[in-house]
Amino acid sequence: MLNLKFFPYSPRKGQREFISFIQENLERCKSFLLDAPNGFGKTPCLLAALLPKVEEGEKIILWTVKTGMEINRPVEELKKIVSKTGEEFFGISYRGKKDMCLLIEERKLRGLTHEDANFVCAKYRNKCRYFNFSPSEIVDLTEKPLTYAEIYEACKQRKVCPYFAQRHLACYCNLLSLNYNYVFSKRMRWAIKTLVPFSECILVVDEAHNVERACQSLNSDKITLEGVRRALEEVKSYKLALSREALEFLEYLEETFSSFLPRVAKGEEILFSLKTLLENFFEDAFEVESLMTELKSYGNFVRTKRFEEGKRPASSLHKLGVFFLESLESLGEDENGSGVTFFLKKLSEKNLELERWDMRVAPHLEALWDEFYSCIFCSGSLKPFDAFSEVAGLRDSLSSSFPPPYSEENIAFFITRGVTTKGEELQDEMAREYLEFLRIFFENVEANSAVFSASFRIQEKLLENGLLRLAESCGKKVFLEREGMSGIEAQSLLEEFKSCSRREKNCLLIASSTGRFSEGVDFPGKELGAIFLVGIPFERLTLRTKVYISYFRFLYGKRGRKYAYVVPALRRASQTFGRALRNPQDKAILIAGDERFCRDEYLSLLPSWLTSWPVALDKHEFSGALKNAVEKLKL
Ligand code: SF4
């Protein structure tokens, strides 16, 4: 039964079992939950498992990823399979108009959102010189798998729209790789459904532990007081003939939001009743809908004008109209169980934001999974399976865990006794205890390392107590992730760290488990030989966290707290530890720096490859254990 025809490597530990598990059950099972650790080789294994079904001419692989950076991986793997087997599989990675529009590049417009790019195309497509092309101009592009950047370049040379060329190519695909949004978002889904019938697709959800957050972030949105002021400015500067009610509503909104400025502390979040705000102004929902549609339509006029002026086609009027229209849907429901909450947060002395936070996952997604021939959810931190299934709205899934390519020879895992980040704030005394452990860590581990803190607040506390000085005095070259770093700053810090760590072995990354480097970034080989995680990355018990736990309790009873609060924290910890292990040859010392990790309730939620050999140590045992580990792992 096992078919390895499309596996271009010699199978390693667990890979045969992984492939045959899918192949044996694909006919009879609707959804799979596969837990396989970092470095397992999930991408080639999944392709090898599914391509025989594709070869029969029956199914299309719809591969979804969390971020654009991961979108090319399956296409690159497919290229290897095609070159090795000579089989004529075709696949592409797929991007939105923001990245695939030649008109936007021609006009040198920067910082456009997907919404802006869609607007530009909808408005100017008929005049766009790239829009009309014959399929014969791109037919040769179906000869081999292509990344979206390759499609873009080929189309640019031919003066053909890359976005619409890509849509045409998608109809020939055996593999289509795209962002979660194209499947999870109701609004965007149709764009893909019109190309590939979902009933013919095997859906792969890569890094599936992200499903919960991705779905919530897609359905949530924000507006600001500044945005309301800008909307009023737009009315003046574009001399818009808004109805009297619409103008009065904008003024009412500005006045209401402004009245909260003196009442809320900077950075503080409070619950806000959008229902009351609207009921105080409107007679009924029909009136709201009609006024918001008016704002949206004037907003579109502003967007057109701005584009013609060579500016980004954005409008605050449009933004407000969309926000309220989309929020209306959630207002009729019972407050406890609606799963949608509104938060008001003060950003500065003059500005605040109103956020619609949609916590629902299963209600948005459960019917979606049934549309596919089959769904495969894969990740290195998917367990516990029952929690994942229930939260994502899955029924009757087949689940399995696969062993890591590592053994005791690759990993030393320690839990530190006598330190914890439990409590509202990390006290100075406890911070100094942590620094004592870190001093021993720095002095004994001569390898590129990382200190990840459970939050930026904890990192700040360690810095205040001398973490930087300590690291430098131990000869470490420090690379520090700061809270709020831009994507570009973070990328450049990452490149500096990686380049230095390939040459030297004293580099130290100081970062947060809630930051940009604890997930989705690989540090193979010598780039990272040891990780010290300070604390368990629980969400802070803010009003928001309490609301979340309470909603999950409403849905799942006693299991609610575990699903909403405990599981996500331990998943974050697993992801953080996984940074140092990407290949079977990688070796690492991993330190769970919080005595609460000893509790079964938490330890059982870490992956088994990590917890097979846990050793709990106090300060006095730590140095000796590290020395032995360094020697054993030959770091
Ligand atoms: S047709 Fe293509 S190039 Fe032209 S505006 Fe639309 S997306 Fe851009």
586 pLDDT above the threshold of 90: no
3-state secondary structure of 107: coil
Last-in-domain residue among 146, 173, 200: 173
Query: How confident is the model at residue 283, as a pLDDT?
Result: 87
Q: Are residues 196 and 328 both part of a single domain? A: no
Last-in-domain residue among 343, 373, 405: 405
Q: Which of 68, 73, 127, 95 is nearest to 191 (CA)?
A: 95
Question: How many CB atoms sit inside 10 A of residue 209's CB?
Answer: 24
In short, whether 130's Cβ falls inside 6 Å of ligand 1 is yes
Q: How far apart are CA 584 and CA 632, in angstroms?
A: 16
What's the whole-model pTM score?
A: 0.90
Query: How confident is the model at residue 337, as a pLDDT?
Result: 61
In short, whether 307's Cβ falls inside 6 Å of ligand 1 is no
pLDDT in tens, 172-196: 999 999 999 999 998 889 989 999 9
In short, whether 303's Cβ falls inside 6 Å of ligand 1 is no
The residue whose C-alpha atom lies closest to atom 2 belonging to ligand 1 is 161
Q: Are residues 143 and 193 both part of a single domain? A: no
Q: Are residues 434 and 448 both part of a single domain? A: yes
Which residues, 6+ apart, have CB-to-CB distance to 425 below 8 Å? Answer: 457, 461
pLDDT in tens, 590-605: 999 999 999 999 999 9
For position 540, which CATH number holds? 3.40.50.300
Query: How confident is the model at residue 585, as a pLDDT?
Result: 83
**Across residues 511-520, what is the average pLDDT?**
90
334 pLDDT above the threshold of 60: no
The residue whose C-alpha atom lies closest to atom 8 belonging to ligand 1 is 101
The residue whose C-alpha atom lies closest to atom 7 belonging to ligand 1 is 101
Q: Using alpha carbons only, what angle is made at residue 277 by residues 274 and 278, rounded to the nearest 5 degrees? A: 90
pLDDT in tens, 562-580: 999 999 999 999 999 989 8
For position 339, which CATH number holds? 1.10.275.40
In short, whether 160's Cβ falls inside 6 Å of ligand 1 is no
Q: How far apart are CA 87 and CA 99, in angstroms?
A: 30
In short, whether 152's Cβ falls inside 6 Å of ligand 1 is no
Q: Are residues 239 and 367 both part of a single domain? A: no
In short, whether 164's Cβ falls inside 6 Å of ligand 1 is yes
Q: Are residues 124 and 185 both part of a single domain? A: no
Query: How confident is the model at residue 550, as a pLDDT?
Result: 95
Identify the helix (H) or strand (E) that includes residue 1: none
Q: Are residues 417 and 482 both part of a single domain? A: yes
Q: Are residues 52 and 148 both part of a single domain? A: no
Mutating to test ligand 1, I would choose from 95, 159, 161 the residue with most ligand atoms within 8 A of its C-beta, which is 161
Q: Which of 260, 261, 227, 233 is nearest to 247 (CA)?
A: 233
Mutating to test ligand 1, I would choose from 125, 127, 152 the residue with most ligand atoms within 8 A of its C-beta, which is 125
176 CA distance to ligand 1 centroid (A)? 21
Q: What are phi and psi of 73, to 5 degrees?
A: -55, -50
3-state secondary structure of 505: coil
Domain containing residue 610: 408-633
Q: How far apart are CA 611 and CA 383, in angstroms?
A: 14
Q: Are residues 131 and 207 both part of a single domain? A: no
Work out which ligand 1 atom sits closest to the CA atom of 124: 5
In short, whether 222's Cβ falls inside 6 Å of ligand 1 is no
Of 35-44, 152-161, 456-465, which range is least confident?
35-44
**Across residues 368-396, what is the average pLDDT?**
94
**Across residues 74-102, what is the average pLDDT?**
95
546's tokens: 């309490």
Query: How confident is the model at residue 383, as a pLDDT?
Result: 87
pLDDT in tens, 238-279: 999 999 999 999 999 999 999 999 999 998 999 999 999 999
**Across residues 541-545, what is the average pLDDT?**
94
In short, whether 163's Cβ falls inside 6 Å of ligand 1 is yes
The tally of domains found in the chain comes to: 4
Q: Are residues 344 and 272 both part of a single domain? A: yes
Query: How confident is the model at residue 74, as a pLDDT?
Result: 96
Q: What's the first-to-final CA gap in the chain, in angstroms?
A: 41
Q: Are residues 521 and 446 both part of a single domain? A: yes
Using CA atoms, how far residue 364 sits from 219, 519, 567, 576, in Å, is 9, 25, 21, 29
502 CA distance to ligand 1 centroid (A)? 42
pLDDT in tens, 192-207: 999 999 999 999 999 9
Query: How confident is the model at residue 332, as a pLDDT?
Result: 62
Mutating to test ligand 1, I would choose from 163, 167, 168, 304 the residue with most ligand atoms within 8 A of its C-beta, which is 163
**What percentage of the chain exceeds 70 in pLDDT?**
99
Last-in-domain residue among 135, 153, 173: 173
444 pLDDT above the threshold of 60: yes
Q: Are residues 353 and 366 both part of a single domain? A: no
In short, whether 107's Cβ falls inside 6 Å of ligand 1 is no
**What percentage of the chain exceeds 90 in pLDDT?**
81
Burial of 2 (0-12, 13-18, 19+ CB in 10 A): middle
15 pLDDT above the threshold of 70: yes
Mutating to test ligand 1, I would choose from 94, 97, 108, 126 the residue with most ligand atoms within 8 A of its C-beta, which is 97
CB 85, CB 55: distance < 8 Å: no
Q: Which of 399, 550, 557 is nearest to 32 (CA)?
A: 399
The residue whose C-alpha atom lies closest to atom 1 belonging to ligand 1 is 131
**Across residues 32-50, what is the average pLDDT?**
93
Work out which ligand 1 atom sits closest to the CA atom of 131: 1
Q: Are residues 458 and 549 both part of a single domain? A: yes
Query: How confident is the model at residue 519, as a pLDDT?
Result: 85
In short, whether 161's Cβ falls inside 6 Å of ligand 1 is yes
130 CA distance to ligand 1 centroid (A)? 6
Q: How far apart are CA 14 and CA 3, in angstroms?
A: 15
**Across residues 114-133, what is the average pLDDT?**
93
What mean pLDDT is reported for the chain?
Answer: 93
Q: How far apart are CA 497 and CA 488, in angstroms?
A: 14
Q: Which of 227, 215, 152 is nearest to 180 (CA)?
A: 215
Q: Which of 43, 39, 70, 36 is nearest to 524 (CA)?
A: 39
In short, whether 103's Cβ falls inside 6 Å of ligand 1 is yes
Query: How confident is the model at residue 333, as a pLDDT?
Result: 57
